[in-house]
A and B are shown apart, each in its own frame.
Chain A
Amino acid sequence: MRIRLLGTNHRRAAVELREQLALPWEEQPAVLEEMAALPGIREVVLVSTCNRLEVVYVETQAEPGLIEAVLAKRSGLSPDRLDGILYRHADADAVSHLFRVCASLDSMVLGESQILGQVKEAYRRAADEGTVGALLHRLFHKAFAAAKRVRSETDIGASTLSVARAAVDLADAVFDDLRTHPVLMLGAGEMGELALRGFRDKGCRDLWVANRTMERAAEVAGPLQAAVLPWSRRAEFLETADIVVASTGARRPVITKADVWAVRRARRGRPLLLIDISVPRNLDAAISDLDSVYLFDIDDLGRVVESGRDSRKREAAKAETLIANEAAAFERVLAQVHVAPLLRALGQRMGQDGRQEVERTLANLAPMLETVPPEVRGAIEDALGRMAQAIGKRFLHHPMGAIKALGAQGEVDLIDAAARLLGVEVSLLSVHRTEDDGATPATKDADGTGES
């Protein structure tokens, strides 16, 4: 039984590929179900954000390529193309990668906290769908706890330059006084909301929110003192808005080049800044061809924030050390998770086999024992039972000690080999949820900046 992780991120795949791979929230239950039903796949958690897709799963001798086949089918990407952008990790590497992701060490914006909330959401979704077992439960809770340690014990998030902040910086490159420029947010996603809050903090007072559902738009607009714009009026409002932030879950562009072209005369050459932080992208890339229109997508924002990365590298180095220690500790825990059921199964089998042998022996001796008084007969039965147990214990003494030692060393593969050698079927589902690692899956981060 092995923990595996495959996925891609903003460094491995351009936004065009990521948007093909992105799994909308409403489709995820079906994908989880499909993956969990694959032969040899025991547990699955799926993390899909703007910047990454991660599939974390537990398998027992599953055929290679099963998960990839599901992704290829869903995304329409050829297996070769997919192969070129995917990374694959197993066991310790998978654990380490997941820990790094949760701690935001693998994020576009180093130290941002939104990814942790997103992974928690993904975990909760998988738990609700019943595709999380004891192993992934432990793994994810350890990852959440490690990420929490990173945030509390390092300053990596103290000066986080978020994608939302980068959007405001870009606006500063185009406009002088942001207070005088109307900002329109398309969609009511968390990232867009953060960007809008960034603009409000910068002094913008002319804020608008357009969303397919007016109720949700009003929900977001209220605390920010923004106005709600009917979704159907978004294109004509381009005549007024100077900054547009798009963050919807739409699969197709919600603003086209023709929409922007139609308002060019009315805008009289005023610059228009369009920031698309959605994956798939919501703003037609061809808009960029128009004069006085400046379009940026999530990857562009990533390059903007890259310049602020150096100042956080020192803290990141501390965080990496912390994460490596946490991952190593989990490896030992993981090994113990394998060891405990194996030892228990061995003990149970030893007791069961011993009892069977004692019963068979007593059955063979039955004619002789008929003449023996009952108290003597009881003593003989007890003696035989203790002898069988003692032989079993003595026989297993060395193997069990060796297995415990392997557990302490984190040698998961050798423990699995020992289990096969001893012919014991180990069920990890019997592992109890013994500890609360301080992470509640439903918890969202307070500032939640970064990935969307």
Chain B
Amino acid sequence: MTDAAGLLYLVALVGYSAVTVLYAAGLTLQRKELATWAFGLLAAATASHLGTIGLHLLETGRPPLGLVLSDVAVGGWDNPMATMAWLLAAVTVGVGAARPPVRVVGAFIAPVSLGLALGGLLVGSSESAAFLPEALTSAWLPVHTLANYASLSLFALAFGSGIVYLVQHGRLKRRAIPIAAGGDGLRLPSLEVLDRVNHRGFALGLAFLTLGILSGTFWAVGGAAEGVDLRPKVVVTLGLWLLYALAWQARSLLGWGGRKAAWIAIVGFGGLLVSVAFVAHG
């Protein structure tokens, strides 16, 4: 890693940390200005992290793509965790800049980004980037990796909006909405917006997960890897895919939106994290 890239990465890390603290303070103290600053800082940290990725691209001539949901451990700067941290933050900034903005989701995504970015720092090693195994030169690998990154990011988005949905639902059920126009406090997005973000995040996440599984299968049966076998991570991933597909169908057919969808997104993201843990441990 060059000094400049390292500096930008450090800036992003500090930014993610500050964003996490600011969002937590904003939610605890019900101060909307803290949440506003947190979102601005998140955008800045994401830009700084993008600078790191850009410098990496210039330096090595390839994007910093590592592996997700795979047991092929890749050392070096292009580790999956760091890029995943950026992707999550970028998706959150995108959703926060959309109409209507859903910025408070960042409160739940920023800690995940921070954790991944720290993890990336720990496992990353730019020196090893030049020594890629032959199996990692397959054309399916970038598709597989990108699809999995996107899937995890979108499920994280659904997870974040699911949590905010439950918070807003709880407020309404307790009849404790204190924020009227002109009032102070942190105004949460409407249930409808949160449910829509949750639904879209979940649906797109499922689509990318499907693409990730298919591309991974092609990669495996194409002979570049060690072939398909039903090791725990494969079983867990396929099981999760099946559950997500059923949940998606339940929404379409039975109207399982709202609170049920929020819980499904939260539990689903938890399952994906378990799956990632299987990746880490083979």
Please indicate the chain B residues that have their CB under 8 angstroms from the CB of A174 in the complex.
172, 190-192
- Nearest CB in chain B to that of A175: its residue: B192
Asked if A176 and B259 make an inter-chain contact with CB atoms under 8 angstroms apart, the answer reads: no
B91-102 near A? 1/0 per residue, CB < 8 Å: 000000000100
Please indicate the chain B residues that have their CB under 8 angstroms from the CB of A161 in the complex.
180-182
Please indicate the chain A residues that have their CB under 8 angstroms from the CB of B259 in the complex.
291-292
Given the interface contacts A304-B178, A308-B181, does A294 sit within 8 Å of B173 by beta carbon? yes
Q: Cβ of B185 < 8 Å from any Cβ of A?
A: yes
Q: Cβ of B46 < 8 Å from any Cβ of A?
A: no
- Nearest CB in chain B to that of A171: its residue: B190
Please indicate the chain A residues that have their CB under 8 angstroms from the CB of B188 in the complex.
173
From B168, B180, B184, B189, name the one whose CB has the most chain A CB atoms within 10 angstroms: B180
Contact of A176 among B173, B196, B254 (CB under 8 A): B196
Distance from A357 Cβ to chain B, minimum over Cβ atoms (Å): 75
Asked if B182 and A311 make an inter-chain contact with CB atoms under 8 angstroms apart, the answer reads: yes
Q: Cβ of A300 < 8 Å from any Cβ of B?
A: yes
Interface size on A, residues (CB 8 A): 32
Interface residues of A in 254-311 (CB under 8 A from B): 265, 267-271, 288, 291-292, 294-296, 300, 303-308, 311
B177-216 near A? 1/0 per residue, CB < 8 Å: 1111111110011111100100000000000000000000
Please indicate the chain B residues that have their CB under 8 angstroms from the CB of A102 in the complex.
none
- Nearest CB in chain B to that of A266: its residue: B255
Interface residues of A in 116-159 (CB under 8 A from B): 159
Given the interface contacts A169-B180, A269-B256, A291-B259, does A307 sit within 8 Å of B175 by beta carbon? no
Q: Cβ of B62 < 8 Å from any Cβ of A?
A: no
Q: Cβ of A42 < 8 Å from any Cβ of B?
A: no
Asked if A303 and B175 make an inter-chain contact with CB atoms under 8 angstroms apart, the answer reads: yes
- Expressed in whole angstroms, the Cα–Cα distance for A267 and B256 within the complex equals 11
From B172, B173, B189, B193, name the one whose CB has the most chain A CB atoms within 10 angstroms: B172
Please indicate the chain A residues that have their CB under 8 angstroms from the CB of B181 in the complex.
161, 165, 169, 308
- Nearest CB in chain A to that of B100: its residue: A176
Given the interface contacts A175-B192, A269-B256, does A288 sit within 8 Å of B173 by beta carbon? yes
Asked if B190 and A172 make an inter-chain contact with CB atoms under 8 angstroms apart, the answer reads: yes
Given the interface contacts A166-B180, A294-B173, A307-B183, does A176 sit within 8 Å of B256 by beta carbon? no
Asked if A304 and B177 make an inter-chain contact with CB atoms under 8 angstroms apart, the answer reads: yes
Asked if A269 and B260 make an inter-chain contact with CB atoms under 8 angstroms apart, the answer reads: yes
Interface size on B, residues (CB 8 A): 30
Asked if B179 and A271 make an inter-chain contact with CB atoms under 8 angstroms apart, the answer reads: no
Q: Cβ of B106 < 8 Å from any Cβ of A?
A: no
Q: Cβ of B80 < 8 Å from any Cβ of A?
A: no
Contact of B180 among A175, A267, A271, A305 (CB under 8 A): A305
Q: Cβ of B257 < 8 Å from any Cβ of A?
A: yes
Given the interface contacts A174-B172, A174-B191, A311-B182, does A269 sit within 8 Å of B258 by beta carbon? yes
Please indicate the chain B residues that have their CB under 8 angstroms from the CB of A267 in the complex.
255
Distance from A361 Cβ to chain B, minimum over Cβ atoms (Å): 81
- Nearest CB in chain B to that of A297: its residue: B175
Q: Cβ of A214 < 8 Å from any Cβ of B?
A: no
Given the interface contacts A269-B258, A271-B258, does A176 sit within 8 Å of B182 by beta carbon? no
Given the interface contacts A172-B190, A175-B192, A271-B192, does A303 sit within 8 Å of B172 by beta carbon? no
- Expressed in whole angstroms, the Cα–Cα distance for A291 and B256 within the complex equals 12
- Nearest CB in chain B to that of A296: its residue: B175
Given the interface contacts A269-B256, A269-B257, A269-B260, does A304 sit within 8 Å of B180 by beta carbon? yes
- Nearest CB in chain A to that of B175: its residue: A300
- Expressed in whole angstroms, the Cα–Cα distance for A292 and B195 within the complex equals 12
Q: Cβ of A340 < 8 Å from any Cβ of B?
A: no
Q: Cβ of A170 < 8 Å from any Cβ of B?
A: yes
Please indicate the chain B residues that have their CB under 8 angstroms from the CB of A294 in the complex.
172-173
Please indicate the chain B residues that have their CB under 8 angstroms from the CB of A311 in the complex.
182
- Expressed in whole angstroms, the Cα–Cα distance for A267 and B178 within the complex equals 28
Please indicate the chain A residues that have their CB under 8 angstroms from the CB of B184 in the complex.
307
Asked if B191 and A308 make an inter-chain contact with CB atoms under 8 angstroms apart, the answer reads: no
Interface residues of B in 234-254 (CB under 8 A from A): 254
Contact of B177 among A159, A170, A177, A265 (CB under 8 A): A170
- Nearest CB in chain B to that of A299: its residue: B175
From A170, A173, A300, A305, name the one whose CB has the most chain B CB atoms within 10 angstroms: A173
Please indicate the chain B residues that have their CB under 8 angstroms from the CB of A269 in the complex.
255-258, 260
Please provide the 10 A-B residue pairs with the shortest distance between their CB atoms, ordered closest to farther: A268-B255, A307-B183, A269-B255, A176-B192, A269-B257, A300-B175, A176-B193, A294-B172, A169-B180, A175-B192
User: What are 9 A-to-B residue pairs whose CB atoms are below 8 Å?
Assistant: A159-B182, A165-B180, A169-B177, A169-B180, A173-B191, A174-B172, A176-B100, A176-B189, A291-B258
Write the residues of chain A forming the contact surface with B, with a CB cutoff of 8 angstroms: 159, 161, 165-166, 169-170, 172-177, 265, 267-271, 288, 291-292, 294-296, 300, 303-308, 311
